[in-house]
Amino acid sequence: MFGKKILGTILCAAIAFTALTGCAGGGTKKVGISMPTQDLQRWNQDGAYMEEKFKAAGYEVDLKYAGNKADVQLSQVEDMINTGCKVIIIAAVEASSLGQALDKAAKKKIPVIAYDRLLMSNENVSYYATFDNYKVGQIQGEFVRDALQLDSTSGPYNIEFTAGDPGDNNAGVFFQGAMDVLKPYLDSGKLVCVSGQTDFDSVATPKWDSATAQARAESIIGNYSDKNIDAWLCSNDSTAQGVVTALDSSYNSEGRGGQWPIITGQDCDIVSMQNMLAGKQTMSIFKDTRTLAERTVIMVNQILNGETVETNSEYDNKAKKVPSYLCDPVFADINNYKEILIDSGYYSEADLA
Ligand code: GAL
C-alpha cells in the first residue's frame, strides 16, 4: 500500500514537470536556433529574443549565426542535430541549401521549424513561423499607389525597384505582392520605370546587401539627369538604406524642386527609422521580432508537449505544404512610429536619435 502511494506521488510529480516544462524528464530540453547573419539588424533581435524566451521557459539554447554563409549554417545545424537538440529553428541563409541537414534531423525525429524564411524543396520541414510576406509587399505597393495618388492623378510618374536576395523565398513573395498592386499602372503607362528593370531577377539584391543595392542605384540614377524619380520600391530597409545613400550622393533633389522619391522599406531598422525622421525614407513595415519569437516558443512547446500545433496557413515549399503560422505585419511611417516602436518598448527615443 505504502509503495503504491510513493509510486503515485512520483507519477504525479513527473506529470506536473512535463506539463510545465514540456519535457518528459530525462534532462533539460534543448533547442537549436540557427540565424543567417548578424550583419542585418533584425536577426540579432530575433536570436536574442528567442534565446531569452526559451531560457525563461526552461530550455537550454544553442544559438548560432552563420555569417550569411550557407555552408557554415549547414555545419552548425548538423552540430545541433548531433548535440541533442529536441527542436531546431532555422532562418536560412539560402532556402534550398540545408536538405542534407533536414534529412538527418528527420532520421533522428527532430522537428524543424522554418523561421521567417521558408526552407525550400525538402519535405523534412515540420512548420513555418513567419509574417504574412505577400501582405508585406501589398502594403508597400499600396503605399506607393496612394502616395502618388495614382487613382486620381494623370501622371506619369517614374519608379524604380530594388528587391531582395534571390536565395530567400521571401524576396520573391514581397516583390510579387507589390507588383500585383503596381503592374496595372506600369501597363497603363501611369508608372514609368526609366531603367526598364521591372522583373525580379533584374532588381534582386544578393544577401539583401546595402552596398550592392547602392551600387545598382547609382548606375540607375545616371538615367535621371533630367528627370525626377518619383518613387523607389525597396523590399526591405537594408536595401532602402543603399538606395538612400546613392540618392544622397548623386541625386540633387533641390535642383528638381526639392522632390525626393517616395522610398519603401521593411523591418523598421534603426538606420531606416533615422532616415525616415530625416525625410529620406518614407515608410517601413514593423515585423515585431518579439511577436514572431513568442509564436515560435509556443510552437515548440506544443510540439514537445505532443499538443496540436496551432497554424493559420500553409506554404508550398516545392516538396510539401508546410503548416504555417503567419503573424501580421504593421505599416510604419512618421505618423505612427512613436506608438508602435517607442510606446511598445521596441526602441527607446535615444535609439532613434
Ligand atoms: C527577409 C526578411 C525581411 C528582410 C530580409 C533581410 O527574409 O523576411 O524582414 O529583412 O530577410 O533580413
The domain that holds 156 is classified in CATH as: 3.40.50.2300
The predicted structure's pLDDT at residue 256? 66
140 lines ligand 1 (CB under 6 A): no
Domain boundary among the residues 255, 286, 317 is at 286
Residues 277 and 297 in one domain: no
Residues 16 and 41 in one domain: yes
347, part of any domain = no
The predicted structure's pLDDT at residue 252? 75
The parent domain of residue 176 ranges over 133-286
Residues 268 and 299 in one domain: no
Residues 24 and 119 in one domain: yes
Residues 25 and 121 in one domain: yes
Nearest CA to ligand 1 atom 9: 267
- Render pLDDT for 327-337 as a digit per residue (tens, 0 to 9): 999 999 999 99
Residues 277 and 146 in one domain: yes
Question: Which residues in the chain land under pLDDT 50?
Answer: 1, 18-26
Task: Please give the distance, rounded to the nearest whole angstrom, from the Cα atom of residue 236 to the centre of ligand 1.
Answer: 7
Kindly report the pTM of this predicted structure.
Answer: 0.91
Please give the Cα distance from 190 to 303 (Å, whole number): 50
336, part of any domain = no
Residues 236 and 269 in one domain: yes
121, part of any domain = yes
Which ligand 1 atom is nearest residue 37's CA?
12
247, part of any domain = yes
335, part of any domain = no
Residues 99 and 207 in one domain: no
208 lines ligand 1 (CB under 6 A): yes
Task: Please give the distance, rounded to the nearest whole angstrom, from the Cα atom of residue 230 to the centre of ligand 1.
Answer: 25
117 lines ligand 1 (CB under 6 A): yes
116 lines ligand 1 (CB under 6 A): yes
Residues 114 and 200 in one domain: no
Residues 60 and 161 in one domain: no
267 lines ligand 1 (CB under 6 A): yes
346, part of any domain = no
Residues 109 and 228 in one domain: no
352, part of any domain = no
Which ligand 1 atom is nearest residue 116's CA?
8
339, part of any domain = no
Domain count, the chain: 2
Residues 140 and 14 in one domain: no
Q: Supply 181's cell numbers.
A: 498592386
275 lines ligand 1 (CB under 6 A): no
Mutate to test the pocket of ligand 1, among 40, 65, 130, 170 (most ligand atoms within 8 A of CB): 170
